[in-house]
Structure 1
Amino acid sequence: MHHFEEELTCSICYSLFTDPRVLPCSHTFCRNCLEGVLDLSGNFSIWRPLRILLKCPNCRSVVEIPDSGTESLPINFALKSIIEKYRQEDHSDVATCSEHYRQPLNVYCLLDKKMVCGHCLTIGKHNGHPIDDLYSAYIKEKQSSGKILEQLTDKHWVDVYLLIEKLKEQKSQCESVVQDDKKVVVLYFKKLSDTLEHKKQALLSALDEINRQVLEEYDPLIENLKKMREEQLELMSLNTSIQKEESPLVFLEKVDGVYQRIKALKEKQLPDVKPVEIYPRVGHLLKDVWSKTEIGQINKILTPKIKLIPKRKLQSKSKEKERGKSKELLQAVNPLTVMLLFVIVAIALFAFPKLVSSFGIETVPTYISEFLLSIYQGFCAHLQTIADALCRKFNLLSLPLILNRAGAWG
């Protein structure tokens, strides 16, 4: 607070003088502040005394107030005029209270450690708080600043330093682990990428190879047929031109040559075009094998050898082929041989079950199992045939005996 402003401040309310009145001791105070001091001193009662005594808040001397009260005290017009001019001037550089309009912050509240105005102390929220002027508070706090240094250099800050170092060390360890894991990730995916790239190139090479085989298979045939087609068109053009020939001799000679060429052209054997297919299909391989393989096992997948094979229905034709083999075997075997083989197989099944089971059902081809079943069925059929033959033979032998007995009875 500026020194000039201090001279305009009441020492009771710490605010700019309002209606300043002069005591007999020459000290000036706000009229309202003097009224408050009188109320606190207890001089006013039911019976008003003839003299009103007041102890000056500044010099502590006892002065006499006229019986009419503070209203009769002289007004300090000079000070009042100065205050009015001061209030009219711009004092933007002077800190003022945010709660009380244009009241300067001229008192230091020791409880809240902040500057306040006089109204804050008398009618505001700082009423009754211990106070001091700014300069005195500054001197006292500066003298006790050594305590601040002690608080900033005690063991607590050593613990803070050690904790910072510990956190830095842990952070460094975690960052090192992260960096190591990053390297592992990069190396892993580089290896995986190299493996996939190698497999990709191997599959593409296999497809390029089969494509080369396709070209070798079809290009010569297509070229030969194209030449035949070109020769056909040439003969058609030649025939058109011959038809315009007017000389009989020349016409006959040329026509005969055309006939000979047509005959030779038609006698050329056309290629036997057999439908083929590419097997195995890479798309099926990727879908059925690669997509179901663990990443770490991809490098173990072998690149298939892709071939051109005759187009066929794999399932139906293979089953028909197996059935054909079983029928051929069955037809080629003598019935007695069938019975003997069936007996041998039956003895093997009952005598050596463990040996038979060790081979596994999966290792026996389908046509073999069907063949064995056919043997069994044939054996049963042959037994039935033998039984029927024996029955017929028995009936033929016993028929004369039966007739003789019937004649004797007759």
Structure 2
Amino acid sequence: MDHLEDELTCAICYSIFEDPRVLPCSHTFCRACVQGLVQPSPECAAGRHLSCPSCRARVDIPAAGPQALPINFALKAVIDKCQQEHRAGARAGAGAGAGTCRAHPRQPLNIYCLQDKQLVCGQCLTVGKHRGHPIDDLQSAYRKAREALGQLLEELTDKSEVSLCAERLQQHKAQCQSALESDREAVWKYFDELDNALGHKKAVVLSALDELSSSISEEFDALIEEVEKLKLEESELKELHSAVQKEESPLLFLEKLEGLQQRLHALKQKRLPDTEPVEIRPRMENLIKYVWSKTAIGQVHKLPTPQFQLMRRSKGYSDSVLGSEPADPRSVAVVVITFLLILWLKEIPPALMPAPLADLREFMLRLYEDSCIYLYNTVRELCHTSDALRKWCRFPT
């Protein structure tokens, strides 16, 4: 390949042809070199031209650019063949020395290009691709690189920014994990305490209901047993009445009739238990729906345990004392006005009133009495549901 170097060297870059293109004047140059010579030309149909470096002939460049110029296949084939032979020779003689330059085959590779980090020849530095690059002797570059490697090792040994960043990230992660564990423990503790509070409150209320159940049994079982005895005695008297009717002997009939009348009189003298309706106060359904359900979850343990009682149902008492909806402001205003009207009517003697106004006064007073009864029962209900109010309440049972 050495004897063909001049024929295979581009006259523009002084290197072996790369992608050789033939100009219309028959001169061949690298496609990249041709691209560098193209100039705009308003006279040319394609708008670009160049001047051949060898013969100075004007060459119009196609619109597609230098890549549209024909390839010098013959020259390209020769270059490929020579490069294959050169690579084969380089492999065969590997280890014998640095070798010669591929771009300038007869030039030894004896200079180290610091910019491209490779060995080059003298022509590469003067007319080739490495022109103007910083250079050094190979051994000198080797010694400097060894020293730089030692300094690099020291930098890697010391705390680098990467290591510090990794440590900081690990610390942040550990802090977040610690905070997460603390939150998890707080959640477990909170809900354990809440479960305990709810369980305790549930047990206390159910125990109170069980006590009330025992009170109900004590209240009614004896009365029911007494009534059952009366029913049994009444049944015996009916049987005795049938037996008296069947008696044929006048004397025995009179005697048995006397006994029947005495027992019947004694039965009538016995008082039956009071069967007026009774009720449980307060009702847990209403407490849960209208009071406890509105209690903050953290305040459940502070809810007072109701003092359940069996009471006779008072006139005007509503089962939904605690379950009533909030009053409309207009209704409250009507109640206030009505109350004031009642107070005014109470101060006027009935004799001084016209008949219609006297009737109104009587109606309003009855309404007033019913309202007082309702308020009385409401306050009593509240007293049974609040520890704070219970000590101030004094109601007859």
TM bucket, shorter chain: 0.3 to 0.5
TM-score, normalization: structure 1? Answer: 0.40
Q: Which has the larger radius of gyration?
A: 1
TM-score, normalization: structure 2? Answer: 0.41
